Structure 1
Amino acid sequence: MIVLHATIAIAAVVGLIIILKIDPVISLVVGSLYLGLASGLGLESTITAIIDGFGSIMAEVGLLIGFGVLIGALLYSMGALQRLVVLLIRALGPRRLPYAMAAALTTVFPSIYVDVQLVLAAPLARSAAPELGRNGLGLLAGALTAGILVGYVFVVPGLGTVSIAGLLDIPLATMLGYGLVIGTLTVLITVLLYSVLVRFGFWNPDKDEHASEALLEEEALAADMTDADEESGRRLPPLFLALLPVIVPLVMIAFGAIADAAGFSTSLIAFIGNPVFALFVGLLGAYVLAKVSLDRDRTDEAMTKGFNTMGQILLITGVGGSLGEVISSTDLQDVLGDLFSAEAGAPIIVSILLAWLIAAVLHLAIGSISVAAITASGIIGPVLGQLGAPVVIIGLAIGAGALFALQVNSNFFWMFQTLLGVTTRGALKALTFVTALASVVALPLIAGLSLVI
């Protein structure tokens, strides 16, 4: 019954938001209350889970979101992102931009925590969207999804990838080599297929895009400030210098991750590579640059608009974490594990599908890619020797399954919706559908790889 109640809760949240137009915060709390009470947690435990879920998500990503949003607001105020978009469009052309963005996020930035990638990449996607036409935001939102999350499950040192490799005893070098091939092919094919669908009407800007008032005011303010600076002849910082508040944190985080993976990390390196500290350094840099290049009033105004934007994002993200915590408090995970059993001597293709299915169902139910990947690895690990398939193939299949259909029971979903300025319906297309598409696209690639190794 717990599987049925979880399905009803998730469907109810989606229905309340899309059909009845209920605010996402209210809808998520209603879904959390229903699941907790229907699953037998009781009144007190349900409320406790909702509160704990909100608090744990805020502890995990609250400062990351806050610092990232403020960096974005200040970069907008200096025209840095707008100038970067112009440069990219001139160098690549509008048609290549989604592929370049997705491939870079998958292959270069998986060491960066996915929430940080989203916070830093979303303003760039919003800035570039008008250059790609009416459906530009939908196209870049899908490319951003594929780029961030495919790298997370296939490319070392993505957290999902490293977790799978560690639990299944797959050498990181092996996982890196095969994962990089599968990840790159998956992300490029996914963006191609999604682009075709968007071109044929899959994306509807009138119904799929709806930025919050705070986000729209922030961008309008940045545009006005940039125009005013150009008219007054005030000199804005060079583009490379203006982008350092983003580049420096990425380098710091990547260095910390590489040092940890290579075994030469120290407490100082861990401190420098901590995402919260790295983004704070970026925020300090952006604030100083804005103070120097803009007047004090405009810098303060940009910060104020950033704070306004941050509030809505934090609330929706936190309540999304509440639903995930209620699900985790039930015995759903154990029930799902008992539903599957591996058969000795199964053909390789059956083993691949089984590994994919276990991880996919776990992700749909739990709402966390990493938890789904870790749990699926724990279920399959004890019978791995009986499956008759290379361990790395099973690991890649688990990663593909854990990617499947990220949706409303994930806090990432609500961050994505608010940061990209899309509706819940738009997020279901550009995030839920794209992760499902990438998950399915990866399956034949993994099956094909199994034939040659």
Structure 2
Amino acid sequence: MDDWAVIAVTAGVIVAMVVLIVKVHLNPAVALVIGAGVIALVVSGNVAESASIVTGGFGEIMAEIGLLIAWGVLIGAILSEAGAIQRLVEGLLRIFGARRAPYAFATTLAVALPSIYIDVLLVMSAPLGRRMAARLGRTGTARVATAIAVGLECGIVMIVPGVGALALAGLLGVPLGMMVLVGVVVTVPTILLTLFVMYFAYDRGFWNPERDESVTIIDTEADEDADDEYATRPATGYTSIIATVGAPPRARTRVQQSTREPALALLFGPMIVSLLFVATGAIVQATDADLGPISILFEPVFALLVGLLGTSLVARLTIGGERVEKAVSRGFRESGQILILTGAGGSLAAAVASTGIGEILGSLFTTTTVAPLLIVWVVAAVLHMAIGSVSISAITAAGLLASVMSEIDVAPVLVALAAAAGSLFAVHVTSNTFWLLQISLNQSTRGTFKTCTLAVSVASVIALGLTMLLSLVL
């Protein structure tokens, strides 16, 4: 097949997948597998061979990161059930004060809690966010909503063990330790700079509470939070979503009470230790050090397993085995759809690789790193605007570029971060997170376009810029 035909077929299938997802409302995982099958069939001309390509791609990515995603989601589910997030945010308020707390809040959501399913974490953090907003004056809602949106979206695709970050690392062959280290280096400055830029604008009239905030203010926590003037009850059909994501409303709106409430350091300790193991593994690999039998602890799948077992043990001793089992069951439900989607992304990547498009596109790139990083950012951004899913767009963009990696002089971790950055661009009305953010923080649609769509887009551009700067040294 001619080069132009390969590019045309691949591009046509990608457009068709977007149409199927957006217009026909076909499940994204199904659309990705169909697209992969079509590409593989056109290239191979053989049904059996094309099926082998699709299933092989699915299995390969699952073998590499399937358990990592499952462990990460389960850790997040147990921490959620233990009420760790609510306590953490309240601690940030006490330590940093209301004015500086949004910066710490956003960074903590991204760096410490990316393993928790994004909509669950949003619903859990929103009541405490409203309390924080009430202390920040006229632009309080804008500041907190921006912090939550930017922190959540950056964390899920740029910070391990966020499911998007894990998927990107697996698709592009990025060592997990490298993804941990470089992800933090890019994400933390991205969040702080984005909040600084947006807060500067809000303080100079960009935020209008009369138009950017909803007028529906109903106290849903009057029994224990009567002083929270920003507590709201959604006035739309999303009430049931907020009330039922993951756990009963009480578990999502206040700190779980326990007669043996553990220290936060104890709750988060196992996960932090596991991530330190992963980072240590990257250093060991880079230095070719031989640590003997203990080196198994630094393998990502075993490191995160240690974190899961430790978190489960602490939770069982404090909140009880029954609640831990409930959290684990919820985590398995959440991880199932993530795993299928990630595997479908692997199928697409394998199909695209089978076309030889890597060599074709590689010959079009210069020896500099700027062009490939910009291209993957643009691809992910366009896909996100069409599909509305940060994870899907990042995984798809990375899958397309996976076949090019051997042909261009770019560190795979930079491509992963560029795809992640692009997938953050223009979070809008096709995203469930957009509507949950609007409802749970009492914003109008106009206001949510500012705190979510614009703010996360600013983060997308800043993250791309920082990634390009890193390309000068990596």
2:465 matches 1:441: yes
Tell me the secondary structure at the aligned position of residue 219 of structure 1: coil
Q: Which residue pairs with 1:292 in the alignment? A: 317
CA deviation after TM superposition for structure 1 residue 405, in Å:
2.4
Letter matched to residue 252 of structure 1: F
Residues in 2 aligned to 1:352 and 1:13: alpha-carbon distance in whole angstroms: 29
CA deviation after TM superposition for structure 1 residue 369, in Å:
5.0
Q: Which residue pairs with 1:385 in the alignment? A: none
Q: Which residue pairs with 2:356 in the alignment? A: 331
Question: Is this contact kept in 2: 1:118–1:148, CA < 8 A?
Answer: yes
Residues in 1 aligned to 2:286 and 2:61: alpha-carbon distance in whole angstroms: 25
CA deviation after TM superposition for structure 1 residue 278, in Å:
1.7
- After TM superposition, list the pairs within 5 Å mapping 1:66-85 onto structure 2: 66-85=70-89
Residues in 2 aligned to 1:335 and 1:203: alpha-carbon distance in whole angstroms: 50
Unaligned runs of 5+ in 2: 131-140, 161-167, 215-233, 384-394, 425-430, 438-448
Q: 1:405 aligns with which of 422, 438, 454?
A: 422
Q: Which residue pairs with 1:119 in the alignment? A: 115
Q: Which residue pairs with 2:408 in the alignment? A: 379
For residues 240-269 of structure 1, what are the alpha-carbon distances to aligned partners after superposition, in whole Å with 9 as ceiling and x for unaligned?
212223222122222222333344342434
Tell me the secondary structure at the aligned position of residue 405 of structure 1: helix
Q: CA RMSD in A?
A: 5.3
Question: Is this contact kept in 1: 2:78–2:311, CA < 8 A?
Answer: yes
More displaced stretch, 14-23 vs 88-97:
88-97
- After TM superposition, list the pairs within 5 Å mapping 1:266-415 onto structure 2: 266-340=291-365, 353-354=370-371, 356-357=373-374, 367=396, 369=398, 372=401, 375=404, 378-380=407-409, 405-406=422-423
For residues 378-423 of structure 1, what are the alpha-carbon distances to aligned partners after superposition, in whole Å with 9 as ceiling and x for unaligned?
4359xxxxxxxxxxxx99997876666249xxxxxxxx999x989x
Residues in 1 aligned to 2:267 and 2:414: alpha-carbon distance in whole angstroms: 41
- Aligned pair count? 386
Residues in 2 aligned to 1:60 and 1:302: alpha-carbon distance in whole angstroms: 25
Question: Is this contact kept in 2: 1:245–1:285, CA < 8 A?
Answer: yes
Letter matched to residue 91 of structure 2: L
Letter matched to residue 248 of structure 2: A
Q: Which residue pairs with 1:142 in the alignment? A: 150
Residues in 2 aligned to 1:68 and 1:277: alpha-carbon distance in whole angstroms: 12
Unaligned runs of 5+ in 1: 110-116, 153-158, 167-171, 343-350, 382-393, 408-415
Residues in 1 aligned to 2:469 and 2:365: alpha-carbon distance in whole angstroms: 24
Question: Is this contact kept in 2: 1:406–1:435, CA < 8 A?
Answer: no
Question: Is this contact kept in 2: 1:104–1:147, CA < 8 A?
Answer: no
Question: Is this contact kept in 2: 1:214–1:305, CA < 8 A?
Answer: no
Residues in 2 aligned to 1:369 and 1:90: alpha-carbon distance in whole angstroms: 40
TM-score (norm 1): 0.64
For residues 92-136 of structure 1, what are the alpha-carbon distances to aligned partners after superposition, in whole Å with 9 as ceiling and x for unaligned?
467756644676799x89xxxxxxx84258565653344445786
Letter matched to residue 264 of structure 2: L
Residues in 2 aligned to 1:7 and 1:67: alpha-carbon distance in whole angstroms: 35
CA deviation after TM superposition for structure 1 residue 325, in Å:
1.9
Residues in 1 aligned to 2:323 and 2:184: alpha-carbon distance in whole angstroms: 44
Question: Is this contact kept in 2: 1:355–1:401, CA < 8 A?
Answer: no
For residues 162-205 of structure 1, what are the alpha-carbon distances to aligned partners after superposition, in whole Å with 9 as ceiling and x for unaligned?
x9999xxxxx9xxx99x99987655544555678799799999x
Residues in 2 aligned to 1:435 and 1:9: alpha-carbon distance in whole angstroms: 30
2:94 matches 1:65: no
Question: Is this contact kept in 2: 1:52–1:322, CA < 8 A?
Answer: yes
- After TM superposition, list the pairs within 5 Å mapping 1:86-235 onto structure 2: 86-92=90-96, 96=100, 99-100=103-104, 118-119=114-115, 122=118, 127-132=124-129, 140-146=148-154, 188-190=192-194, 216-220=244-248, 223=251, 230=257, 234-235=259-260
Question: Is this contact kept in 1: 2:376–2:401, CA < 8 A?
Answer: yes
TM-score (norm 2): 0.61
Residues in 2 aligned to 1:95 and 1:15: alpha-carbon distance in whole angstroms: 44
Residues in 1 aligned to 2:8 and 2:99: alpha-carbon distance in whole angstroms: 43
Question: Is this contact kept in 1: 2:105–2:147, CA < 8 A?
Answer: no
Residues in 2 aligned to 1:29 and 1:313: alpha-carbon distance in whole angstroms: 14
Residues in 1 aligned to 2:331 and 2:419: alpha-carbon distance in whole angstroms: 33
Alpha-carbon spacing, 1:406–1:52, altered in 2? closer, same or farther (3 Å)? farther
- After TM superposition, list the pairs within 5 Å mapping 1:416-435 onto structure 2: none
Residues in 2 aligned to 1:403 and 1:63: alpha-carbon distance in whole angstroms: 21
Alpha-carbon spacing, 1:100–1:326, altered in 2? closer, same or farther (3 Å)? farther
What is the percentage of aligned positions where both structures have the same residue? Answer: 31
CA deviation after TM superposition for structure 1 residue 139, in Å:
5.1
Residues in 1 aligned to 2:376 and 2:191: alpha-carbon distance in whole angstroms: 19
Question: Is this contact kept in 1: 2:54–2:347, CA < 8 A?
Answer: yes
CA deviation after TM superposition for structure 1 residue 306, in Å:
2.2
Q: Which residue pairs with 1:24 in the alignment? A: 28
Tell me the secondary structure at the aligned position of residue 260 of structure 2: coil
Q: Which residue pairs with 1:412 in the alignment? A: none
Letter matched to residue 64 of structure 1: L
For residues 132-158 of structure 1, what are the alpha-carbon distances to aligned partners after superposition, in whole Å with 9 as ceiling and x for unaligned?
457867753533554676789xxxxxx
Q: Which residue pairs with 2:12 in the alignment? A: 8
Residues in 2 aligned to 1:397 and 1:276: alpha-carbon distance in whole angstroms: 22
Residues in 1 aligned to 2:56 and 2:298: alpha-carbon distance in whole angstroms: 27
Letter matched to residue 19 of structure 2: G
Tell me the secondary structure at the aligned position of residue 25 of structure 2: coil
